[in-house]
Chain A
Amino acid sequence: DVQLVESGGGLVQPGGSLRLSCAASGFNFNTYDLYWVRQAAGKGLEWVSTIDAGGATYYSNSVKGRFTISRENAKSSLSLQMSTLRAGDTAMYYCASAQTKGLEYWGQGALVIVSS
């Protein structure tokens, strides 16, 4: 079975840092583009970042320069290093994977709360 499992969420103070991880299994990880998508409480989905199968990275304007996405194919692992966190970054963060047919697989999410 395909699984994406996020970890690393929690409470962090404004200006702080946090690293999210996503462990994948059950599909050919190396050939998939990987995404982080977030959702603030009661709000819609917001794309955060993508790393494609070749390693190219893309960021939303709201996180560019503060967040870094990376992947480790040997471990089927995706990460999101978040720094200079703001209250507006508070959200459930989902990792997701895609080839050519949309975001096929999603994790259950990791909650990040930025508050003093």
Chain B
Amino acid sequence: QSVLTQAPSTSGTPGQRVTISCSGNSSNVGRHNVDWYQQLSGTAPKLLMHGNNERPSGVPDRFSASKSGTSASLAISGLQSEDEADYYCAAWDDNLNGLVFGGGTKLTVL
């Protein structure tokens, strides 16, 4: 059972907008920045969003993120087939004194 809660799967059609949510508590999401990682099949994870809503160089502006209280979300607009991947949220947890991940959300592009 992951400390951060994500839905196991979601789907969308090309061009659609989808959101992936991440729920935590006051010791992690409520207190620290949430980062998002994208993992394409068979590859290492890649930093997708950091500091709640900042994109590393090279990440398209179709990706955006937000946080409110102890919940965070990742939005993908103009969905493309190459966005099909697993998405993970992560935040530092003061109670566990470590990094915690969500269980991951598998995005399928129909």
Hey, which bits of chain A sit against chain B, CB under 8 A? 35, 37, 44-47, 50, 58-61, 94, 96, 100-104, 106-109
Chain B interface helix/strand/loop/mixed: strand
Instruction: Tell me whether A47 and B101 are in contact (CB under 8 A).
Output: yes
With A45-B37, A94-B44 as given contacts, are A104 and B56 in contact (CB-CB < 8 Å)? yes
A94 to B37, CA, bound (A): 14
A-B contacts at CB below 8 angstroms, number? 65
Instruction: Tell me whether A45 and B101 are in contact (CB under 8 A).
Output: yes
Instruction: Tell me whether B44 and A47 are in contact (CB under 8 A).
Output: no
With A45-B104, A101-B54 as given contacts, are A106 and B99 in contact (CB-CB < 8 Å)? no
Looking at the assembled complex, report how far the CB atom of B86 sits from the nearest CB atom of chain A, in whole angstroms.
8
B88 at the A interface (CB under 8 A): yes
Closest to B91 in A: A102
Residues of A contacting B2 in the complex (Cβ-Cβ under 8 angstroms): 44
A58 to B44, CA, bound (A): 22
Instruction: Tell me whether B44 and A109 are in contact (CB under 8 A).
Output: yes
Instruction: Tell me whether B101 and A101 are in contact (CB under 8 A).
Output: no
A37 to B86, CA, bound (A): 16
B103 at the A interface (CB under 8 A): yes
With A102-B47, A102-B50, A106-B44 as given contacts, are A50 and B101 in contact (CB-CB < 8 Å)? no
